[in-house]
């Protein structure tokens, strides 16, 4: 009887240790590559705009609350027309958009460190094959992991660059958080450091300065309207209007301007086709 009781107690203790051991061994540093983190859940506001799960975020997701239809197009100038797409567009009819005069496209490649756009190949290669100049973008989650970690993830999963005259430098989509606090729980100085970590790592991986996509309101609130990047990183500004308005961060001019989301995100490149090719070539 004593032997049986001892054996039962030992088994119970072993099961208890087995159940608690792995939890204690999990790293607590969220920047660790082995960290176990739960998938972020979209806010009610984000759900209203098509973001129902982690990975669904897209460029300008909150901006499309400010206009129900496309504003009047700016007066024609030396601009090239383009679009940006994500998984929300699925398989894109690139011939249609080429016929609409679109000559460049940016395609969402990644988000955070665990999401890859399942339509990326069709969108990225399809735009290229129809004749467009194409690029990839990364939706940043600064509270998920370090800027360097996310830059490496992006560069390894579609965000690379080659000097073929048809590939644009990768873009960092840094904007409103669809999963929680607007500024991802970071102070303004910490956010600037995170962005610097991302763009520096991306340049070391690809040789190119990443394009930064943002808007005046978010950039002011979350970076203190930092001017740290206006001499190195091209600006892609979001403003759904017939005028581009005040630019964030002391940038003297925009390189891309996302001016509407109707019927999908449409963008101007600030220059003619030869300048767009020059940007692609670096």
Q: What angle do CA 220, 146, 173 make, to 5 degrees?
A: 45
Active-site residue 173, yes or no? yes
Q: Of residues 56, 81, 93, 175, which has the active-site annotation?
A: 175
- CA dist 278 to 84, 94, 113, 159, 253, Å? 20, 23, 31, 19, 17
Active-site residue 175, yes or no? yes
- Give the SS3 label for residue 109: strand
Length of the chain equals 282
Q: Long-range contacts for 118-122 (Cβ within 8 Å, ≥24 apart)?
A: 118/87, 119/86, 119/87, 119/89, 119/90, 119/91, 119/92, 120/158, 122/91, 122/92
Q: Of residues 29, 34, 56, 84, which has the active-site annotation?
A: 84
Residue with the two structure tokens 């767009």 = 276
Active-site residue 81, yes or no? no
Query: Is omega for the bond preceding 165 within 30 degrees of 0, making it cis?
Result: no
Q: Of residues 29, 56, 111, 173, which has the active-site annotation?
A: 173
* Neighbouring residues of 9: CB distance < 8 A, sequence distance ≥ 6: none
- Give the SS3 label for residue 174: coil
Q: What would the two tokens of residue 167 be?
A: 């590939």
Q: How far is CA 201 from the centre of its chain?
A: 15
Which residues are known catalytic residues? 84, 173, 175
């Amino acid at each position: 009887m004593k032997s049986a009781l001892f054996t039962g107690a030992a088994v119970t203790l072993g099961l208890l240790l087995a159940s608690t051991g792995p939890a204690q061994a999990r790293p607590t540093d969220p920047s660790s590559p082995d960290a176990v983190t739960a998938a972020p859940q979209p806010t009610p506001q984000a759900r209203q705009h098509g973001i129902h799960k982690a990975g669904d975020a897209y460029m300008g997701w909150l901006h499309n609350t400010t206009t129900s239809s496309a504003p009047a197009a700016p007066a024609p100038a030396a601009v090239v027309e383009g679009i940006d797409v994500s998984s929300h567009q699925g398989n894109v009819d690139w011939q249609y958009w080429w016929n609409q005069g679109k000559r460049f496209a940016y395609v969402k490649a990644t988000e955070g460190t665990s999401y890859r756009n399942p339509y990326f190949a069709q969108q990225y290669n399809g735009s290229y094959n129809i004749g467009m100049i194409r690029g990839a973008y990364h939706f940043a989650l600064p509270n998920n992991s370090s800027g360097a970690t996310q830059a490496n993830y992006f560069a390894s999963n579609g965000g690379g660059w080659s000097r073929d005259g048809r590939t644009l430098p990768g873009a960092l989509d840094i904007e409103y958080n669809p999963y929680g606090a607007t500024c991802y729980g970071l102070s303004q100085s910490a956010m600037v450091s995170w962005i610097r970590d991302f763009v520096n790592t991306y340049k070391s991986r690809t040789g190119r300065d990443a394009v930064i996509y943002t808007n005046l309101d978010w950039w002011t609130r979350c970076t203190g309207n930092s001017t740290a990047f206006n001499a190195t990183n091209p600006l892609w500004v979001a403003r759904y209007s017939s005028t581009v308005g005040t630019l964030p961060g002391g940038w003297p001019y925009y390189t891309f301007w996302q001016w509407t989301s109707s019927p999908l995100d449409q963008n101007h490149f600030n220059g003619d086709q030869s300048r767009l090719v020059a940007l692609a070539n670096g």
